[in-house]
């Protein structure tokens, strides 16, 4: 179903929204309390800068001087039959990105955000990968996706996942800045543990993420546990091979948080007994959570498993990964190109 745009244009001060309170205080050389009030207006209440309460005129003027002509236009929004809503946004330089609003329990939403325009990693099963990379998004451009969707939503948005267009760890600092705005008590007020950052396996940045002690949920898109097979599906395997990736997953598992391992199921490709066995060899002793999800490939090269194929694979996984949580993730929004792996900046 095609719908009119949600928010024609967000305000010029929006790029101030790309920093959490602390970052804003440093960037503007102002007191933390003032930064909180400014963020509370611009992000928390989505109001113009001048409506920040109890901030001196001189501080507001300084913030206004730093504001640029940041733009994010909602070009289109489309509703899939299952309630997923895909948004197409236009940026000031003509680039386009998408975000997907995902319904949760008929009471609230979570939001899938893009971190780059396109993606350089070229995974074989992914429409974004076929676009190639245009550029990184600024942190405010990620927060702006959330603001635009929130303005269009009656229910609360209580979670965010960086799983839209792009490899978040190729845009590490901007993604983390945006994530901290989303969980800032003056900003998005989303529980940190309900914000997920997903990587295809950029190992050095995973190690940095773990060493820095961030508490957002870390997800790794694994998709094959046999190196040749993974390299054929995900060229990133050639730069950051499975043994290094598994070490980084193990290292993160030593913190309080286990990694969520995403596994895009492609029938006849990575859902056989030998695939489950290889997963078991790699991950059996590491605390993880495994999320299999059916592939969505509009080119027809890959197909999702049938129900009997899924049952057989699930049983094999249970045998080879005893005691590990295995939760199949619903793959929604296919009829409007809103599902995982389908984001390609298309107008419908
Ligand atoms: S699956 Fe993720 S990392 Fe791979 S090409 Fe698509 S957007 Fe990039």
Mean pLDDT of 188-202: 96
Residues in the chain: 348
Q: Which atom of ligand 1 is nearest to the CA of 126?
A: 6
**Percent of the chain at pLDDT above 90?**
70
pLDDT at 2 over 90: no
Q: What digits encode the pLDDT tens for the residues 294-313?
A: 999 988 999 999 999 999 99
- Mutation choice for ligand 1 from 99, 116, 119, CB with most ligand atoms inside 8 A: 119
Higher pLDDT: 159 or 333? It is 159
pLDDT at 72: 84
- For residues 291 and 328, the answer to whether their CB atoms sit within 8 Å is yes
pLDDT, tens digit (0-9, with 9 covering 90-100), for 115-151: 999 999 999 999 999 999 999 998 889 998 999 999 9
Q: Report in angstroms the alpha-carbon separations of 344 from 116, 145, 265, 305.
A: 12, 16, 20, 23
Residue 335: pLDDT band (50, 70, 90) is confident
Instruction: Tell whether the model's pLDDT for residue 343 goes beyond 70.
Output: yes
How many alpha carbons lie under 13 Å from residue 267 in its C-beta half-sphere? 14
Looking at residue 47, what is its pLDDT?
Answer: 83
Cα of 63 vs its chain's centroid, Å: 29
Residues with Cβ < 8 Å from 107, sequence gap 6 or more? 155
Q: Mean pLDDT over all residues of the chain?
A: 90
Tell me, what's the pLDDT at 16? 60
So where are the chain's domains? 12-66, 72-336
User: Using CA atoms in the order 13, 14, 19, 24, what is the torsion angle rounded to 10 degrees?
Assistant: 10
pLDDT bracket for residue 61 (50, 70, 90): confident
Pull the structure tokens for residue 283. 């991950």
Residue 100 scores a pLDDT above 90 = yes
Bigger pLDDT: 69 vs 190: 190
Cβ(139)–Cβ(174) below 8 Å = yes
Protein residue with least CA distance to atom 5, ligand 1:
129
Ligand 1 binding pocket includes 339 (Cβ within 6 Å): no
Residue closest to 295 by CA, chosen among 219, 243, 240, 234: 234
> Average pLDDT in the 182-188 region?
91
DSSP label of 299? T
Q: Enter the DSSP assignment of 326.
A: B
Amino acid 7: pLDDT: 33
List the 156-162 sheet strands across, edge first.
2-3, 72-79, 85-91, 96-104, 108-112, 156-162, 195-199, 217-221, 259-265, 288-294
Give the containing element (helix H, strand E) for 207: helix 203-212
CA of 158 to the centre of ligand 1 (A): 24
Residue 5 — very low, low, confident or very high, per pLDDT cuts 50/70/90?
Answer: very low
Which has the closest alpha carbon to 18: 157, 134, 188, 185? Answer: 188
3 state SS of 21: helix
Active site residue 340: yes
Other Cβ atoms less than 10 A from the Cβ of 147: the count is 22
Residue with CA nearest ligand 1 atom 7? 166
**pLDDT number for residue 9:** 30
What ranges make up the beta strands (E) of 137-239? 156-162, 195-199, 217-221
pLDDT of residue 221: 97
Ligand 1 center from residue 63 Cα (angstroms):
36
What does the buried/exposed string (b/e) look like for 284-304 if buried means 16 or more CB atoms within 10 Å of the residue's CB? eebbbebbbbbbbbeeeebbb
pLDDT computed for residue 13 by the predictor? 46
Longest pairwise C-alpha distance within the chain: 67
Q: What is the pLDDT of residue 11?
A: 38
Is 291's pLDDT higher than 90?
Answer: yes
pLDDT at position 33 is 95
| Both structure tokens of 279 | 């997963």
Average pLDDT over residues 311-318: 97
Superfamily for the 72-336 domain = Aldolase class I (3.20.20.70)
Q: Which two tokens stand for residue 70?
A: 């940041």
Specify the pairing of strand 195-199 against strand 217-221.
parallel
Q: Is the CB of 200 under 6 A from ligand 1?
A: yes
Q: Which of 76, 98, 141, 237 is catalytic?
A: 98
Q: Is 273 a catalytic residue?
A: no
pLDDT band at 105; cut points 50, 70, 90: confident
CA dihedral sign, ordered 200, 285, 289, 302: positive
- Between 207 and 7, whose confidence is greater? 207
The pLDDT value given to residue 77: 94
Residue 6 has a pLDDT of 35
| Interval 6-59: pLDDT, tens | 332 333 345 566 678 888 888 888 999 999 998 898 888 888 888 899 999 999
Whether pTM > 0.85 for this model: the answer is yes
What would the pLDDT profile of 244-287 be if each residue is shown by its tens digit? 999 999 999 998 789 999 999 999 999 999 999 999 999 999 99
End-to-end CA distance of the chain: 9
Does position 3 have pLDDT exceeding 50, yes or no? no
Q: Provide the pLDDT confidence category of residue 67 given band limits of 50, 70 and 90.
A: low
């Amino acid at each position: 179903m095609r719908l009119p745009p949600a928010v024609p244009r967000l305000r010029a001060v929006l790029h101030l929204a790309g920093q959490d309170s602390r970052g804003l205080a440093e960037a503007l050389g102002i007191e933390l309390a003032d930064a909180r009030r400014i963020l509370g207006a611009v992000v928390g209440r989505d109001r113009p800068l001048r409506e920040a309460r109890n901030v001196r005129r001189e501080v507001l003027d300084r913030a206004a001087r730093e504001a640029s002509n940041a733009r994010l236009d909602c070009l289109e929004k489309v509703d899939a039959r299952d309630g997923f809503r895909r948004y197409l946004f236009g940026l000031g330089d003509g680039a386009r990105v998408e975000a997907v609003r995902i319904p949760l329990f008929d009471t609230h939403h979570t939001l899938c955000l893009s971190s780059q325009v396109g993606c350089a990693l070229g995974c074989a099963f992914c429409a974004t990968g076929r676009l190639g990379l245009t550029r990184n998004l600024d942190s405010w451009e990620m927060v702006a996706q959330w603001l635009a969707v929130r303005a269009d939503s009656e229910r609360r948005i209580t979670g965010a996942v960086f799983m839209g267009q792009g490899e978040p760890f190729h845009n590490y600092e901007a993604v983390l800045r945006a994530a901290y705005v989303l969980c800032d008590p003056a900003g998005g007020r989303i529980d940190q543990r309900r914000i997920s950052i997903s990587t295809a396996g950029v190992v050095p940045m995973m190690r940095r993420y773990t060493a820095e002690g961030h508490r957002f949920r870390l997800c790794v898109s694994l998709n094959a546990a046999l190196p040749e097979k993974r390299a054929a599906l995900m060229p990133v395997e050639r730069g950051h091979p499975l043994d290094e990736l598994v070490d980084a997953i193990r290292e993160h598992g030593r913190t309080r948080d286990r990694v969520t391992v995403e596994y895009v199921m492609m029938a006849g490709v990575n859902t056989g007994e030998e695939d489950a066995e290889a997963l078991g060899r790699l991950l059996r002793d590491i605390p993880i959570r495994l999320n299999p999800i059916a592939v969505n490939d509009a080119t027809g090269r890959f197909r999702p498993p049938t129900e009997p194929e899924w049952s057989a694979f699930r049983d094999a996984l249970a045998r080879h990964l005893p005691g590990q949580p295995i939760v199949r993730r619903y793959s929604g929004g296919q009829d409007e190109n809103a599902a995982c792996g389908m984001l390609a900046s298309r107008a419908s």
